[in-house]
Chains A and B, each alone.
Chain A
Amino acid sequence: MPRIFGCKKFIRLTSEQEDRDLNPSEERFLSRHREVCEECAQVARTTSNALNMLRLAAMEPEIEPMFEDRVIRKLKVQQVKESLNYWSPALVGAAIACAVIFVTLHLASSPTQMKRANLNSNEARRETPRLELDQPPVLR
């Protein structure tokens, strides 16, 4: 059956009917059009059926227990991560500085090299520098 004048308006009003109360003239238009246009009447029925099935398919939530606790725990972890991210350049800098200071101190306090001659019966002795104060300095 060929479509007649006003089919688009009928479709639009059918959709709007789901959301608002139509005024009397719009209601009249719909009922008159439905009588003369079987195709549009079928569209209206199908739309209504499809939307009803859609509404019936709405799912109710199944919230697992401890939902709040999990969110709060995640939030805390997130805050710790963020603070670590914030402080990490400073922490890395401090670690490098500590390492440098440690190595410097270690090198500065390390004993002078021992000579083989000072080793006597497996005993290591540090060579003490001799100060020759009684002799005049040699100028080169």
Chain B
Amino acid sequence: MLTHTIAAEAAAQERQWVGRCRQGDEAALGCLIARHRNRLVRTATNLLRDRHEAEDVAQEAFLKAFREINKLRDDRAFSGYLYRICVRLCMDRLRLKRAELVEFDSAQPHCGGNIENRVVIEKLLSQLPTELRTTLVLREMEQLSYEEVAEVMQVPIGTVRSRLHTARERFRKLWIEAVGD
């Protein structure tokens, strides 16, 4: 009940900020950025696996969202709108990047250190197609529900389910190739 009230208050406050942003209120802009920056940068970091690029993308997403804020019909939809822009920008960047095919030496399995694990994961993710990679990261790392992933990627839930299944299968196979069973 309390959580629900807090969420409702936060949503009402955000609506106010969006309204004030439309009138060019700089303080409201700052409040909106402060509220959403962590989530945006985290998602972009996990999708792109590059902190600096992630920050650039997050900034770009804010700029795009604020520039087109007058086109937004429902003020309540701002956070979803902003998040969608960010994910789309990340996907555009991933498509532009040429996938670096990395050959792993299966005779020398990795010893599983934390940083090394990250590097391996990064290389494996880079071998997945953009749509599969994005679906997998949003679901497994960002812990979004099927509905949320579908909304962000603007595809039906059935597509999310099948993409996720394919992505997990491919990721598993790549994992076996890289580190063994």
A residues neighboring B (CB under 8 Å): 11-12, 15, 18-19, 42-43, 45-47, 49-51, 53-64, 67-68, 70-72, 74-75, 78
B residues neighboring A (CB under 8 Å): 26, 29-30, 33-34, 37-38, 41-42, 45-46, 49, 51, 54-55, 59, 62-63, 66-67, 114, 117-118, 120-122, 136, 139-142, 146, 164-165, 168-169, 171-172, 175-176, 181
Q: Are B175 and A49 in contact (CB under 8 A)?
A: yes
Q: What 5 new A-B contacts, CB under 8 Å, besides A54-B171, A71-B59, A75-B62?
A: A19-B164, A46-B175, A68-B30, A71-B62, A78-B63
Chain B residues near A42 (CB-CB < 8 A) = 181
Q: Are B118 and A47 in contact (CB under 8 A)?
A: no
* Contact pick for B33, options A45, A61, A71, A78, CB 8 Å: A71
| Chain A: minimal CB distance from B59 (Å) | 5
With A19-B146, A75-B29 given, is the CB distance from A54 to B140 under 8 Å? Answer: yes
Closest to A79 in B: B67
Q: How far is A55 from B118 in the complex, measured between Cα atoms in Å?
A: 10
| Chain A: minimal CB distance from B146 (Å) | 7
Subset of 17 A-B contacts with CB under 8 Å: A18-B168, A46-B176, A50-B171, A53-B120, A54-B136, A57-B121, A58-B141, A60-B42, A61-B45, A63-B37, A63-B55, A67-B37, A68-B34, A72-B29, A72-B33, A75-B62, A78-B63
| Chain B: minimal CB distance from A9 (Å) | 12
| Chain A: minimal CB distance from B34 (Å) | 6
Q: Are A51 and B140 in contact (CB under 8 A)?
A: yes
Chain A residues near B175 (CB-CB < 8 A) = 46, 49-50, 53
* Contact pick for A64, options B33, B42, B55, B121, CB 8 Å: B55
* Contact pick for A68, options B37, B165, B169, CB 8 Å: B37
* Contact pick for B42, options A12, A47, A59, A71, CB 8 Å: A59
Q: Are A53 and B121 in contact (CB under 8 A)?
A: yes
Chain A residues near B120 (CB-CB < 8 A) = 53
4 pairs of A and B residues whose beta carbons are closest in the complex: A61-B41, A50-B175, A57-B121, A58-B141
Chain B residues near A46 (CB-CB < 8 A) = 172, 175-176, 181
Q: Are B33 and A68 in contact (CB under 8 A)?
A: yes
Closest to A74 in B: B63
Q: Are A12 and B165 in contact (CB under 8 A)?
A: yes
| Chain B: minimal CB distance from A80 (Å) | 13
Q: Are B45 and A51 in contact (CB under 8 A)?
A: no
Q: Are A70 and B59 in contact (CB under 8 A)?
A: yes
| Chain B: minimal CB distance from A54 (Å) | 5
Q: Are A15 and B121 in contact (CB under 8 A)?
A: no
